[in-house]
């Protein structure tokens, strides 16, 4: 089997490469099918995914059996300003991968986001709930989902949320840096969702990719919290004393709208490969214990 990971230098891409090299994650051994798997990774400097001709040349050359697309433009506020770039990365790129994968008979795993939902309720969203994004980021990611499902029947759309991983910048590292340097953290307490460790997500993506259970999936850390509660847990688990202040989204004054409630329910995951996503605080504790943060 040949596996291609796009966005291989991002948090999720690197986590996938790491556990594929190890043959296991913190959740356990990977399926035997990955033992002799030929794995390749590409990133922005290697290939412009919004260029259909270039995507076609690259995939026809390596002829993967499975593509996991971790590439995306995730700067939510910047997406409002540079909408062309957001659309190119989040909509055109997965469209191109879907069209080419379909021609090659390859499976495509498209990683998406909780931001496709409006966030106006208080009950976790199921896979069949109607999307309604409130930001350019969410709208372009939703278009990417729709393109993938339209052009590649052998595809999986996996929505996740509040992702952090072993490498690169993320909310966990940012909070710890601020706590240590400033002795105080100010974090919004009126947005709720699911913190997700890339280790757990990567493991489940690899399980899903081996199946023919083509569908939309939700895959996040188990349980929910606010960003403020998440931040408090981060400094507590790391043993970093600091002053904590809960603020509102309005006080923060960011440009892009964000869903106030975007918790995801794991129905499809539970009914297919099984839901072994750890409670978010347990996964956070494991992350901090395994890192120099």
CA distances from 78 to 136, 255, 256, 257 (A): 9, 9, 8, 12
Pairwise CA distance, residues 212 & 154, whole Å? 7
Calculate the CA dihedral of residues 54, 90, 212, 130 and round it to 10 degrees.
-150
Residue 211 per-residue DSSP state: S
d(CA 20, CA 34) in angstroms, rounded, equals 7
Report the distance separating Cα 153 and Cα 29, nearest Å: 29
Distance, in Å, from the CA atom of 206 to the CA atom of 31, rounded to the nearest integer, reads 8
Q: How far, in whole angstroms, is CA 79 from its chain's centroid?
A: 17
Distance from chain centroid for Cα 275: 16
Alpha carbons 68 and 110: distance in angstroms, whole number: 6
User: Which is the catalytic residue, given 34, 73, 115, 137?
Assistant: 137
Active site residue 137: yes
Could you give the residue numbers annotated as active site? 137
């Amino acid at each position: 089997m040949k596996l291609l990971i796009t966005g291989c230098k991002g948090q999720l891409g690197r986590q996938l490469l790491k556990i594929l090299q190890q043959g296991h994650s913190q959740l356990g051994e990977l399926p035997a099918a990955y033992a002799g798997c030929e794995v390749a990774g590409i990133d922005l400097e290697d290939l412009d995914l919004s260029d259909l001709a270039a995507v076609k040349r690259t995939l026809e050359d390596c002829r993967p059996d499975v593509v996991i697309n971790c590439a995306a433009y995730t700067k939510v506020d910047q997406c409002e300003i540079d909408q062309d770039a957001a659309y190119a990365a989040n909509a055109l790129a997965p469209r191109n991968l879907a069209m080419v994968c379909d021609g090659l008979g390859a499976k495509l795993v498209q990683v998406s986001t909780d931001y496709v939902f409006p966030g106006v309720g208080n009950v976790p969203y199921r896979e069949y709930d109607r999307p309604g994004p409130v930001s350019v980021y969410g709208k372009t990611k939703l278009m990417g989902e729709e393109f993938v499902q339209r052009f590649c029947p052998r595809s999986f759309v996996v929505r996740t949320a509040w992702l952090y991983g072993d490498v690169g910048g993320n909310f966990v590292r940012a909070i710890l840096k601020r706590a240590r340097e400033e002795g105080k953290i100010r974090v919004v307490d009126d947005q709720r969702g699911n913190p997700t460790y890339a280790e757990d997500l990567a493991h489940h993506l690899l399980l899903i990719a081996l199946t023919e259970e083509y569908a939309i999936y939700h895959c996040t850390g188990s349980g929910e919290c606010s960003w403020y509660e998440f931040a408090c847990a981060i400094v507590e688990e790391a043993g970093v004393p600091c002053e904590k202040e809960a603020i509102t989204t309005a006080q923060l004054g960011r440009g892009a709208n964000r869903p106030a409630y975007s918790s995801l329910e794991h129905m499809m995951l539970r009914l297919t490969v099984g839901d072994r996503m750890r409670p978010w605080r347990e996964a956070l504790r494991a992350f901090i214990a395994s890192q120099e943060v």
